């Protein structure tokens, strides 16, 4: 490692850390897939234990969204984006020792602020009225007591997860992505272990009987397990943090080095812009508690978790892998490199997002039924969650694209554009929720449709600014032809998957038939995309052939 220990310390090679983008994206995707599979097992166990009509599990999901709100704001969104921007600049201009000083200062300040924030939020949750002033809206649902209790129990998770996000952001800037990708998997391992222990102690639930007292006892144990999982998620990254040079003596701050306060101040306006899609989902969940009958928040959450499975592999993995390189190019003022990297990644996201969206849309009911219709989860929950999942499928492509476009803005120092769009779309999302649920009488699918519409609106408002506002050169990568090829291939693969699922279900059973349909859809899409000349399909084939030889 290079140490920039003086005012003229030699900067680190910030672009050289990020040369193997394809290999890194594959690594992050594989580890993210492992985490998502574990997370999926987590939700399957939760559904079997608590069911689709449990007011207690609705309360747990609503409580879980409170620390998740701050995780999106301070962890995965604004803070990590702001800190990575500052650390990239410090490493490049002043060396890695100065970067270590910035990390340690930021970690200390963040820990103090997070503890204070947690105490303030816990006090507010305990004291706020059951109904909103003036409107009289029962924002915590018909039985607010479990929501309050469980929120108080899980709120300290925000301290652990935000510190873990800061550590992960630092490691990514230094080119270490595996530990940050392992961390969510470790969290899910602990969570699944707790659910298995609850299954052993309480047994599976009964779809005919909600059993509120039993469910509340289990939810309390689950809240404790969440905190243990948060500790594990942070701890698994600490060895890599030491190897990357972040743990050691804090050097004197060099002139021109950003302060920890400046990093946090920069994260404030980014809070909405960096996580607009997740914030919309969070608002949907909170509104579900007050607007929908029992099971609404839980079913919306499950549908969102299924939709997030391909989203994580498509958008999160690609964006997290590419963002440090975007920052490095932006720091050096190479706008052509920024444009080319953005466009290549954008089309790669579409190559996987389109078939995932079509496939989930046409297989929504079989996916929900095979995943969750066990134990206390009944057929009515399958129908409600399937309808929500179909609407959320419409958001897969724009939500993934918005994350990449917003990060491109940040890489070039424009933080205002995404924030303005985010504020507008948050307002639109709330209005659409009320119109679709209260006005049109829709159920969980109304909230999901509002999320999809606002995701498309965000993308439509952000894309034109890449050239007009950021001054990026015109794209030299074709989009229309390849996208049409992807869409046609996706439609054909979706039709084939539906037919295979019906035949497979009759011959093999529900779960095997679904797996066979998914495999057939993936294979058919690959063949059709290659036959239609989609460049990404040709590139995948060429890489596979090179590896064989």
Q: pLDDT above 90 covers what percent of the chain?
A: 39
pLDDT value, residue 5: 41
- Residue 9: the pLDDT is 45
The angle, 0 to 180 degrees and rounded to 10, between the axes of the packed helices 317-331 and 21-50 is 140
Reported as a single tens digit per residue, the pLDDT across 259-313 is 778 777 766 655 555 555 556 666 777 788 778 888 888 999 999 889 987 876 6
Alpha carbon distance 240, 115 (integer Å) = 25
What confidence score (pLDDT) does residue 132 get?
A: 67
**How far is CA 454 from each of CA 22, 279, 398, rounded to the nearest angstrom?**
31, 11, 9
Assess whether pLDDT exceeds 70 at residue 442. Answer: yes
Q: Is the pLDDT of residue 142 over 70?
A: no
- Higher pLDDT: 25 or 374? It is 374
Is the predicted pLDDT of residue 493 greater than 70, yes or no?
Answer: yes
**pLDDT tens for each residue of 314-365:** 666 667 678 778 878 887 888 898 898 888 888 988 999 999 999 999 999 9
H helices of 174-211, where? 178-202
Q: For the chain, what is the mean pLDDT?
A: 84
Select from 318, 363, 375 the least CA-distant residue to 344: 318
**Beta bridge partner(s), residue 206:** 209
Residue-range domain boundaries for the chain? 36-271, 275-477
State the CB neighbour count (10 A cutoff) for residue 460.
12
Average pLDDT over residues 42-70: 88
pLDDT one-digit tens code per residue, 382-408: 999 999 999 999 999 998 888 888 888
Sign (positive or negative) of CA dihedral 395, 396, 398, 399: positive
CA distance 426 to 422: 6
In this model, does residue 2 exceed pLDDT 50?
no
Instruction: Note the pLDDT tens digit of each residue in 199-255.
Output: 999 887 766 666 788 999 999 999 999 999 999 999 999 998 888 888 877 777 767
Tokens of 53: 């009509």
Share of residues in the chain with pLDDT > 70 (%):
84
Tell whether the model's pLDDT for residue 459 goes beyond 70.
yes
- pLDDT of residue 7 exceeding 50, the answer is no
CA 285/CA 62 separation, integer angstroms: 7
Output 185 or 131, whichever has higher pLDDT.
185
Closest CA to 396 of 352, 430, 362: 352
- Asked if pLDDT for residue 101 goes beyond 80, the answer is yes
Residue 526's pLDDT is what?
A: 94
Instruction: Give the least confident one: 106-110, 113-117, 323-327.
Output: 323-327
**pLDDT classification of 4: cutoffs 50, 70, 90:** very low
Q: How confident is the model at residue 166 (pLDDT cuts 50, 70, 90)?
A: confident
| pLDDT on residue 21 | 58
Q: What is the pLDDT of residue 20?
A: 55
| pLDDT for the residue numbered 247 | 83
Which range (63-67, 150-154, 457-461) has the least confidence?
63-67
Q: Which residues pair with 209 in a beta bridge?
A: 206
| pLDDT at residue 170, rounded to an integer | 86
Would you state the pLDDT for residue 118? Answer: 93
Count CB neighbours of 262 within 10 A. 14
Residue 75: its pLDDT value, please?
54
User: What mean pLDDT comes out for the span 122-151?
Assistant: 78
Average pLDDT rounded to a whole number, residues 413-437: 87
């Amino acid at each position: 490692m290079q140490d920039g220990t003086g005012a003229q310390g030699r900067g680190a090679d910030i672009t050289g850390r990020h040369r193997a983008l394809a290999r890194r994206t594959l690594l992050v995707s594989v580890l993210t897939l492992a985490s998502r599979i574990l997370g999926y097992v987590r939700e399957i166990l939760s559904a079997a234990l608590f069911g689709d009509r449990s007011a207690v599990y609705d309360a747990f999901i609503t409580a879980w969204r409170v620390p998740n709100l701050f995780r999106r704001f301070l962890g995965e969104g604004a803070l990590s984006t702001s800190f990575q921007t500052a650390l990239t600049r410090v490493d490049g201009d002043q060396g890695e020792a100065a970067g270590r000083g910035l990390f340690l200062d930021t970690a200390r300040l963040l820990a103090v602020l997070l503890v204070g924030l947690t105490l303030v939020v816990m006090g507010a949750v305990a004291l706020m009225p059951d109904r909103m002033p003036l409107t009289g809206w029962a924002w915590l649902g018909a039985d607010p007591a479990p929501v309050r209790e469980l929120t108080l129990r899980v709120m300290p998770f925000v301290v652990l997860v935000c510190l873990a996000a800061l550590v992960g952001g630092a490691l990514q800037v230094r080119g270490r992505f595996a530990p940050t990708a392992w961390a969510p998997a470790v969290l899910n391992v602990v969570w699944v272990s707790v659910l298995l222990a609850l299954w052993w102690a309480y047994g599976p639930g009964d779809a005919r009987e909600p059993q509120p007292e039993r469910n509340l006892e289990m939810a309390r144990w689950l809240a404790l397990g969440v905190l243990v999982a948060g500790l594990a998620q942070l701890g698994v990254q600490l060895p890599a943090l030491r190897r990357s040079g972040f743990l050691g003596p804090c050097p004197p701050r060099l002139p021109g080095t950003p302060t920890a306060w400046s990093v946090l101040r920069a994260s404030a306006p980014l809070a909405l812009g960096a996580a607009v899609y997740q914030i919309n989902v969070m608002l949907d969940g909170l509104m579900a508690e007050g607007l929908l009958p029992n099971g609404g928040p839980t079913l919306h959450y499950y549908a969102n978790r299924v939709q997030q499975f391909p989203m994580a592999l498509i958008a999160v993995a690609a964006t997290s892998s590419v963002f440090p390189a975007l920052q490095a190019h932006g720091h050096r003022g190479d706008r052509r490199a920024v444009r080319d990297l953005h466009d290549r990644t954008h089309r790669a996201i579409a190559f996987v997002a389109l078939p995932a969206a079509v496939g989930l849309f046409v297989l929504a009911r079989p996916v929900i039924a095979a995943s969750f219709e066990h134990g206390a989860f009944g057929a009515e929950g399958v129908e409600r969650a399937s309808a929500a999942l179909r609407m959320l499928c419409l958001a897969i492509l724009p939500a993934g694209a918005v994350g990449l476009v917003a990060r491109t803005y940040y890489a070039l120092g424009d933080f205002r554009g995404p924030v303005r769009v985010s504020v507008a779309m948050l307002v639109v999302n709330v209005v659409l929720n009320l119109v679709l649920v209260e006005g049109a009488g829709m159920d969980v699918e109304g909230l999901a449709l509002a999320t999809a519409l606002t995701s498309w609106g965000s993308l439509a408002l952000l894309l034109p600014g890449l050239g007009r506002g950021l001054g990026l050169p015109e794209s030299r990568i074709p989009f229309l032809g390849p996208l049409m090829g992807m869409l046609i291939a996706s439609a054909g693969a979706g039709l084939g998957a539906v037919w295979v699922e019906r035949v497979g279900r009759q011959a093999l059973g529900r779960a095997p038939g679904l797996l066979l349909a998914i495999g057939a859809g993936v294979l058919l899409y690959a063949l059709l995309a290659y036959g239609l000349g989609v460049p990404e399909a040709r590139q995948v084939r060429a890489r596979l052939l090179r590896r064989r030889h």
